[in-house]
Amino acid sequence: MTHGRRRLSRLTGPVRLVVQAVAALLAVGALCAAAVLGFGTARDGTAALRRAVVDRAAAAAELHFALADLDAERADELIPGHAPGQPDVPVGDQVLALITANQRRTEISGLLRQLGGDPAQAARVRAVFDALGRYDELSGQVEYADDQDADPAAGHPPTPAVDLSAQAGAVMRDQLLPVVDELSQTYQRQAATLRVRARDAQRWYAVALSVFGVLALVVLVWWQRDLAVRYRRRINPALVAASLAVLTVTVVGATGLLAAAGELGRAAEQGLGPWARLAEARTAAADAVAAESRWFVQDPGAGTAYRDDYEAQMRRLDGLLSPDTGTSAAELPQYAAALKPLAAFRSDDATLRRLLAAGRLDEAAVVLTDVGRDHVAFDYWDFATRLDGLEQARRADFETRMASAGHALDGWPAIPTGTLAGAAALVLVGVRPRLAEYR
């Protein structure tokens, strides 16, 4: 540094001024490059994270739920019929199951079209299409076989329909849902990776912006001092204005990047993570209902696997619905409200088992398919609706915080580009009168 100062002190006046001006311009230019690159990277990272969650992870989670619920409705279609010994007394609600199944199938088609736009997961999406085609074919055969008995007794669908339904359930459980679960988990991991990458980049660029800003300020202040000593001028207004512009960009820019990084962290902790758990819980509930419905029409031996699956999904629900560290005090009552219909759902299952054990299939069919209090269909709907409300609230929290992170980047990098371009112009304005003195 000392040798550099000595060399600079030996330069003639005009050359020294030009060297100082170039040094100032380079420092301002480096700061501008850091600001433009930093904010450009931050905006791209934030946008990529939003796309990964909204367009991919959310769609995959919704697809998982829709498939599981479709399977539950298809299974429920076989249960209604007439009361034992009373052909004119209908038991159960088949129409509701048919309507809901058709709605879910339409949703699934739309979600697959949405996910089909991702070339990286094209193989998995094709696998889902293939397995779904087999499932639809088997479901059609189930409907045909069930129609061969125009008015079966409740809980006693035709044996061919039961067998085909079990095959369709196996396709769903062993082929469709595992692939969709892998797809969902892949997008969840991608979102987590993008979030960490975007947050770390914003923090790193905030540090880089601060370093280059301090460097530019040191150059400008040192030059101002050198001019004051050599030319006996107290201040150079243009250089003072340039210094203020550099200080503003440095402070506001670093603060904005850190604020965006903080919002990304909170979006993940209070929005993305809890949302993923609630989406998984919603799917587990649909899986449990599907297993329960398929078990209903199986003989005791064949239905054991479905019964075990039901118990496993209920254990998953217990773990997933425990409020986490990101749960606010205002949301705790919502979790408690969601757990009430879950308790009712469990009570309905206990009632269902007692009725089946007593051989009262017609009453059991009503408990499983009719929409009313103390019935599986209603209490599951109530639980799923409350769960969906919680899930949407967490996703909205994520969206709000992502929007806040985006607002922290509004106007950038246009702001530093314009401001520092003005600072560079002020450097030239500031040095021009001193150079004119040598003419």
The per-residue pLDDT for 82 is: 65
- Identify the pLDDT of residue 324: 65
* Contact status, residue 168 vs residue 74, Cβ threshold 8 Å: yes
For residue range 127-151, list pLDDT tens digits in order: 999 999 999 999 999 888 888 777 7
Tens of pLDDT, residue by residue over 157-209, are: 888 888 888 888 889 988 999 999 899 888 888 888 888 888 888 889 899 99
Burial readout 334-373 (b: 16 or more C-beta within 10 A, e: otherwise): bbeebbebbebbeebbebbeebbeeeebbbbbbbbbbeee
pLDDT, tens digit (0-9, with 9 covering 90-100), for 261-314: 888 878 777 777 788 888 888 888 888 888 888 787 776 555 677 788 888 888
Task: Report the mean per-residue pLDDT for the chain.
Answer: 81
Place of tokens 């459980």: 173
Q: What local confidence, expressed as pLDDT, does residue 348 receive?
A: 86
Rounded CA separation 392/395 (Å): 5
Helix (H) or strand (E) segment spanning residue 100:
helix 94-115
90-to-75, 82, 85, 154 alpha-carbon distances in Å:
18, 4, 11, 8
pLDDT at position 252, please?
Answer: 87
pLDDT > 70? residue 153: no
DSSP state of 57: I
Burial 415-424 (b: 16+ CB within 10 A, else e): bbbebbeebb
Token pair of 218 as six digits: 């040191």
Tally of residues, the chain: 439
Residue 16 has pLDDT above 80, yes or no: no
- Which residue type does 54 have? V
Separation CA 328–CA 394 (nearest Å):
11
- Kindly report, residue by residue over 158-167, the tens digit of the pLDDT: 888 888 888 8
